[in-house]
Amino acid sequence: MQTIKASEFKAKCLALMDQVNDTGDEIIITKNGVPVSKLSPIISKPKTLFGSNKQNLKITGDILEPIEAEWEAMQ
């Protein structure tokens, strides 16, 4: 976790906000060496789980054609 002085934070505020948004890492802001604040990204949760993994999945091949595999089922 990155630590930064309040005076330095004041000078670089917008760039640090972009950094936190891009990396997801938090930044601790200190005043006279004492932690006083934390800059962290907002993580929004989806309203439903439906489609929550769509950015992580990739379809390869034809998903509609039957496969050439034998299945064993318990009788």
Q: Which token pair is 30? A: 């200190």
As assigned by CATH, the class of the 2-39 domain is alpha beta
Query: Residue ranges of the domains in the chain?
Result: 2-39
2 bridge partner residues: 27
- Identify the sign of the CA torsion 14, 16, 22, 25: negative
15-40 pLDDT, tens digit per residue, is 999 999 999 999 999 999 999 999 99
Q: Look at residue 29 in the predicted model and tell me its pLDDT.
A: 97
pLDDT classification of 75: cutoffs 50, 70, 90: low
Q: Look at residue 48 in the predicted model and tell me its pLDDT.
A: 80
Asked if residue 41 has pLDDT above 90, the reply is yes
pTM: 0.58
